[in-house]
Amino acid sequence: MPKLMDTTMQEVKTASNYKFSAVKIDELGATEYTLATVVVDVSGSVASYQKELESCLKTVLGSCKKSPRAENLMLRLVTFNEGLTEVHGFKLLNTMKESDYNGIIQPSGNTALFDAVYASVEATKDYGKILADQEYLANAIIFIITDGCDNSSGFSADGVKNMVAKAMKAECLESITVVLVGVGYSDPSVATYLDGFKNDAGITQFINIGDATAGKLAKLANFVSKSISSTSQALGSGSASQPLTF
């Protein structure tokens, strides 16, 4: 049976021909929003902890819905392997439930890490401009959760750096924070690679979790939800919130 179109959402096409969805302006009830995006690696190597990863995402959604700033938050979820899949676009929290995330982690394929970061930053920038053009105040935070090195992207680290810089200079978002999270590996060379990518691409922060235990993924969910809340509380201050310690 075909999926019915959500009439509260609009589709937007970026300059790089990437399509994303977001709440239509006439559906918004507040005057300011934090745009939170979670981008999750679902390449074949995450299979051993896919249930824990799904639980982590459900906890993030549940925690955000309990935030005092819940009415001023929008959440977007993207998964990636060698391609990108938008699980849902920028949505208001009161339109979502944790069961929406049942079965969303289906591990397979390679890792287009650079493409995932590029497209997510570009989508955030473009929706931020749509909001700014209608005189909404917005800031943004993006989490990229991955267990490995890029092996199938079209964009380079330099390309990602240019997009991050463009988003920061666009003046449509009060601030934009990009957090790279490394999880699901024991080889220290992976952390070295990801930290190098963080520096090369101008990403705000790198969190090295290592092994993907249930406890560490629960701690990650807490870190992500608290970071989103902190970013929202900083909205209107003219600057980004201070990065939290994992």
pLDDT per residue as tens digits for the range 155-214 = 999 999 999 999 999 989 999 999 999 999 999 999 999 999 999 999 999 999 999 999
102 within a domain of the structure (yes/no): yes
174 within a domain of the structure (yes/no): yes
225 within a domain of the structure (yes/no): yes
6 within a domain of the structure (yes/no): no
Q: Give the phi and the psi of residue 177 in degrees, each rounded to 5.
A: -115, 130
11 within a domain of the structure (yes/no): no
Please say if the pLDDT value at position 215 is more than 80: yes
Domain with 49, as residue range(s), is 30-234
Please say if the pLDDT value at position 2 is more than 60: no
Please say if the pLDDT value at position 38 is more than 50: yes
150 within a domain of the structure (yes/no): yes
9 within a domain of the structure (yes/no): no
pTM: 0.96
69 within a domain of the structure (yes/no): yes
CATH label of the domain that carries residue 101: 3.40.50.410
Number of domains the chain contains: 1
pLDDT per residue as tens digits for the range 139-166 = 999 999 999 999 999 999 999 999 999 9
